[in-house]
Amino acid sequence: MTKIAPKSTRTARPSQGKILYCEDDRAVMDSQSRVLEKAGYTVELAHGRAAAEQAFRSGVYDAAVLGHTLSKDARHHLAYMAKKSSEETQVLVLHASGRHPAVDLAIDSRQGDAAVLEALNTVIEQKSLALAL
């Protein structure tokens, strides 16, 4: 059974947004979440598809990051789940190909941490602009 990890309390500065970060590989998830936390995001972790589904049913997020160790099917399904939980949740898919109607931005995670942070900043900014209109 997969479980949602407790919310992270390590934040380098005031939070730039509440992020749900989902991966199937715990080591990748832990490593990448530290990068996001150092950048000032409040990060909640979901290890696997079932944990992410549970998180979307019980919480609202500024953005959902669907990692490259999730299966293509899981990334596809979870993008819809994110939007169903809140239309304002921005969806960033790492290591994705093609377009998906519920995905706001997709990048190749092999581009490195800086590219992931830039993409996350972009989707959070898009959300802020949309809410301001």
Q: Give all domains of the chain, ordered by start, each with its CATH number.
A: 18-132 (3.40.50.2300)
For position 96, what pLDDT does the model report? Answer: 54
What residues does 4 pair with on adjacent strands? 46
Task: Give pLDDT tens digits along the chain (133 positions).
Answer: 444 444 444 443 456 889 999 999 999 999 889 999 998 999 999 999 999 999 999 999 999 999 989 998 999 999 999 999 998 999 999 875 556 777 777 777 677 788 888 888 888 887 776 766 6
d(CA 75, CA 91): 10
Q: Strand, coil or helix: what is 47?
A: strand
Q: Please, are residues 70 and 22 in contact by the beta-carbon 8 Å criterion?
A: yes
For position 12, what pLDDT does the model report? Answer: 39
For position 50, what pLDDT does the model report? Answer: 97
d(CA 47, CA 20): 10
Distance, C-alpha 42 to centroid of its chain: 11
Compute the chain's Rg from CA coordinates: 13
Judging by DSSP bridges, how do beta strands 63-66 and 18-23 pair with one another?
parallel
